[in-house]
Structure 1
Amino acid sequence: MGAPTGGEKASFGAAITGLGLVTPAGIGVKENWDRVTSGRSCATADEPLGGLPAGVTCRVPGFDADALLGGFSAWGFDRFAQLAIVASRQALADAGWDPARWDGTRVGVVLGNSLGGMQSLERQHTALLERGPRKVSPLTIPMFMVNMVAGHVAIDIGAKGPSEVSAAACAAGGTAVGTARALLRSGVCDVVVAGGTESALTPLVLAALGKMGALSGRTDEPGRASRPFDAGRDGFVAAEGAGVLVLERTADARARGARVHAVVRGYGSASDAHHPTAPDPSGQGIERALRAALADAGLGPSDVDHVNAHGTATVLNDAAEGRMLRRVLGDRPLVTSTKGVIGHTLGACGAIEAAYTALAVAHHCVPPTANLTRLDPEVEIDVVGGAPRSAPIDVAVSTSMGFGGHNAALVLTAS
């Protein structure tokens, strides 16, 4: 291990040596890949939301925090931190790293999140209103603060290098991976645990998103509610989940004989400077991010084989992103949106989708976009639907767009 050479900086690649996934598609990488390639939606009617108009969500199935983290350890964490810790442990095990045997001062943590510990915040606010201040937990602040997820993961794995959170809304996970790559490129870290997490399926959040008109209204057919790029789409399905990647310099990964799922070759980010919640209809912000990522990787649009698109299933996002992809990449790349299966995990989505993109590169297989029955005629790109499609994938792109006009793009390669 050590600082990269000048040659490495010229065309820098961050090897993805470990993956951890805790999503509505399952707990574990195999469970996730099997479900997303099946094209079967995870969305269900959400009874705990108490009959809200937008009561369709995608929750992580069978997540037992006591069993996975230990009862005493789990009770002081909000669920968004619990998901991240479990995914981080998975990723480290997959990478073959034992935190007891590394130099923690050379290990960083960068995680994306948008809303923090909303479950704890709402629960404690209810306690305050109904039972008074003496019933508010002294752990309330550290349970809902956004930054604490990086702190909790760093404590859990003994990472003593830089520890930070990207809060770039739904581009947070992608931004975290890009930031992690920069830490490796600079020589500050030898290993970075990077990703994103979100668990904000609460009455307040769902009511607010519903009031904005962001959510699908298909409460009578939950499994068909999330319809990215489909002509009949009407909004996204809110979800929870965490995705974590272990990144190392490619030379370091090869030197220790690690398996490399894929390599992060490029990263770009840009702002719309257009509207607090609506994407720029021209797609110029995400276009700048994508072109910057390709330039960073030393690649051109014609090199791209596959795109894991942001594809939220909202009317405005999919139209703007679809037009942009056609303008920049043409109709050759195989495009998918895995949000059709797992819903929209908000601040976690960019990291989860980066993991799915790495798996697509490794397996030479593009997952289908669930519920795609009639492609929006404005979207003149090759969106994979129905069944997974096998194809050589040497270069893949993952795009992310968030409230506030945040945009991020990652370029992944096979080597």
Structure 2
Amino acid sequence: MAIESLSALGRGSDEVWAAYLSQRHALVEMPFEDQSTFVAPISEDQRKGIDKIKGSQSQYRKLDDTVLFALDVSRLAVESAGWDGNRSFGINIGSSRGATGIFESHHRQFIDNGIIPPWTSPVTTLGNISSWVAHDLRTSGPEISHSITCSTALHAVLNGIAWIQGGMADRFLTGGSEAPLTPFTLAQMKALKIYATDRGPFPCRALDLNKEGNTMVLGEGAAIACLQSGESPDSLALIDGVGYATEVLESSVSISAEADCFQRSMRMAMGDLHPSEVDAVVLHAPGTIKGDEAEYRAVEKVFGSDLPLLTSNKWKVGHTLGTSGMLSMELAILMLRHQVFIPLPYEGENPISRNLNRIMVNAVGFGGNAVSILLRRPGVH
């Protein structure tokens, strides 16, 4: 198994881990429609790499960043996994929003001029992502793209596991890609009254249950995992259990007060394990008051007096929507690998060495579609 990413934290596991060991966040203020807005963009050097891919083939010049990010990280993940010699594997890479930038640009062109390029439709579909990755990697397996809002990447993992366990594939490339830093997408988040406005040391205070306002910040990037059955000397982590649930919504943008969907998904992922056997949870925790509180209450309900260590990475890298669950999974795997827990800096703690054997990862999105994945350190039984 391998897992790689591109985000405001960097590109590749070494850069990402170094960023996690620092208490500095990657959120910056940028102008959008004459308003200064906190976002978490990829770096200028990373942007040059994306532009290089965009210019490498004539077909790539029309693609949205969502697809280009996925191409870049998929190449890196396949190389890290040593899959270069055999391209017979499935691909499931999703996105919450899809080709946001290209869609907005072509729609504006249509409103202004009444015409659009003939390739508008094919380059703005969600199926665009996995099909272009398959083209780029020259693979021969199934290609799946989907949107299940902010739990998209972890749902891709569920799909990959199902295909492998069903005997329909031996290996699967899974993950999410998102490029939502556009004026219209940011305006949508601000209209929900959940966007960060505080210019303090930490604009996003994910999982801070004492914050006085909503603090969500959007980020961009892609994260991809290579899944295969069994355990090998090269395994980064083992998937010990998976859980999923959808709850009846009281609102189109929020889950219930005690996040019933998370309670069910976490219990399903744990199976017969005692709660004390889970050492940490990487929460979805987007930085909103209601979202963070509901998920925390769900954790309390499930774990009771055996409350594990809790953390979130959105204070550092922002909310990357469909990619976010896989970035959280990457953090969990890095903590298992290095045996270091990354806490919340505004709780007054630095990264600490801990005995970490099992870490759970949560993700949920609009629609109440929760996923929980329990990861185990190799060699632990």
TM range (shorter): over 0.9
**Do the aligned partners of 1:52 and 1:207 also contact (CA within 8 Å) in 2?**
no
- Cα distance between partner residues in 2 of 1:242 and 1:24: 10
Q: Which residue does the alignment assign to 1:23?
A: 7
SS in 2 for 1:243: strand
Q: Which residue does the alignment assign to 1:360?
A: 335
1:299-338 mapped onto 2 (5 Å cutoff): 299-330=273-304, 331-338=306-313
Q: Deviations over 1:181-210 (max 9, x none)?
A: 111111111110001111111111111110
Aligned residues: 370
- Cα distance between partner residues in 2 of 1:75 and 1:67: 10
SS in 1 for 2:364: strand
- Cα distance between partner residues in 1 of 2:247 and 2:270: 19
- Cα distance between partner residues in 1 of 2:146 and 2:66: 14
Q: Which residue does the alignment assign to 1:142?
A: 122
TM-score (norm 2): 0.93
What is the Cα deviation at residue 103 of structure 1?
A: 5.2
SS in 1 for 2:326: helix
Stretch deviating more after TM superposition (240-249 or 23-32): 23-32
- Cα distance between partner residues in 2 of 1:159 and 1:321: 39
Q: Identify unmatched segments of 5+ residues in structure 2.
A: none
**Do the aligned partners of 1:37 and 1:366 also contact (CA within 8 Å) in 2?**
no
What is the Cα deviation at residue 29 of structure 1?
A: 1.4
Q: Identify unmatched segments of 5+ residues in structure 1.
A: 1-16, 374-384
* Match status 1:279 vs 2:262: no
What is the Cα deviation at residue 332 of structure 1?
A: 3.9
What is the Cα deviation at residue 403 of structure 1?
A: 0.5
SS in 2 for 1:412: strand
* Match status 1:198 vs 2:178: yes
What is the Cα deviation at residue 25 of structure 1?
A: 0.6
1:105-254 mapped onto 2 (5 Å cutoff): 107-133=89-115, 136-218=116-198, 220-221=199-200, 224-230=202-208, 231-232=210-211, 233-251=213-231, 254=232
- Cα distance between partner residues in 2 of 1:178 and 1:61: 31
Q: Which residue does the alignment assign to 2:356?
A: 393
> Which of residues 66, 70, 74 in structure 2 aligns to 1:80?
66
Question: Which consecutive aligned stretches of 4+ in structure 1 deviate over 6 angstroms post-superposition?
Answer: none
What is the Cα deviation at residue 368 of structure 1?
A: 2.5
RMSD: 1.7
- Residue type matched to 1:44 in 2? V
Percentage identity across aligned positions? 26
SS in 2 for 1:188: coil
- Residue type matched to 1:93 in 2? E
Q: Deviations over 1:231-264 (max 9, x none)?
A: 125221011111000011125xx2xxx5111111
SS in 1 for 2:62: coil
Q: Deviations over 1:380-405 (max 9, x none)?
A: xxxxx531121111111000111011
Cα 1:39/1:142, change in 2 over 3 Å: farther
Which structure is richer in relative contact order (CA contacts within 8 A, separation 6 or more)? 1
SS in 1 for 2:363: strand
